[in-house]
Structure 1
Amino acid sequence: MLEARDSQVVNELIAVCVDGARFYETAAREVEDSELRILFREMGSTRQTIAEALAHKLKELGYEPDISGTLAGRMKQLYTELRARLADNGDQRYIADLESLEANALHDFKLSTHKVKSTRVAQELANHLATIQLSHDQLRALKQTRLDRI
C-alpha cells in the first residue's frame, strides 16, 4: 500500500497537470497563430494524459485521485487571459506564461520524484518528468525565437 504522503504528493502533481491542461486549452482558443493553436492543443493533451496516468496509478495503489485542479491555477489562467487581451502581442504573452508554467511544473516534478518513498511511484514520476522537460524546452526555445523576431 502507498503511504499517505506519497498519495498527497501525486495528487498535487495531478492538480498541476489539470491546471496546465486547462491553461493550454484556453491559450489554444485565444491565440491568433494557427501553429500555436495546434502546439498548445498537443501540449494540453499531453498534460491531460499525464494527469490521467497519475490518477490511474493512485487508483491502482488504493487511493482516490483528486482531478479538480487548483484555485491558484484557475486564477493564474484568468489573469493571463486578461493580460493577453490587453497586450499588443497576446500570443507572446501566452508563450511566456506557459513557459513559466512549464518551468514550475518541471520544478514540482523534480522535487516530488525525490519526496516520494515508493520506488514505483518515483519511477512513474520520473517518466513524466522527461515529458515535461521536453515541453519546457520547446516553449523556452519558442519564446526565445519569438523574442528575436521583435
Structure 2
Amino acid sequence: MKTLDHILRLLAVCALFCAAPAHALGGAPAAPAPEAAPEEALGRSLSHARSYVRIEPIRASVQADYRMRGLLQVGLALDAPHSRTRQTIAERQLWLRDAYSQAMLMYSGRMYRWGDIPDADAIARLLQAETDRLIGPGQATVVLDTVIIHAN
C-alpha cells in the first residue's frame, strides 16, 4: 500500500513538472489563425495585378461509352482593367459561374472526345463568349490558368 501511495505522489510531481513549462509560457490557447483572403483560399494566384479577378475552377463531367470517364477542370481568371468592370463581375459572379458551367458541359459533351487533349483555345472562346454576353463585349478578357482532365 505504501508503494502505491509513493507511485501516486511521484506521478503527481511528474504531472506538475510537465505542466509548469506550459504555464510559464502563458498557458493560454493560441489565437485562431486569421481567415485566408479569397484569392489565397483558391490556391496560387495567377497574377498579382489588381486587374485580375480570380474565378473558382469550373468542372464538367466527361462521358464516353455511356458512362462517366472523368472530370474536366478549368482554372481561370478575368482580366478587367476598370474597377467598375471588376465590381460588375463581383455582382454577377453566380451568373458567370452558371454560364461557364453550361459552356463546359457543352464542350465536354459535344466537342471533346475521350482520350484527346482538351482544346484550350476552344474552351477560351466559349468562356469569352459567355463573359462578353454577361459583362459586355471587350470589358473583360478570359485568361486560362489550367485545363486538366481527371480520369476515373
The normalised TM-score by structure 2 is 0.30
Larger strand percent: 2
Larger helix percent: 1
Largest Rg, 1 or 2: 2
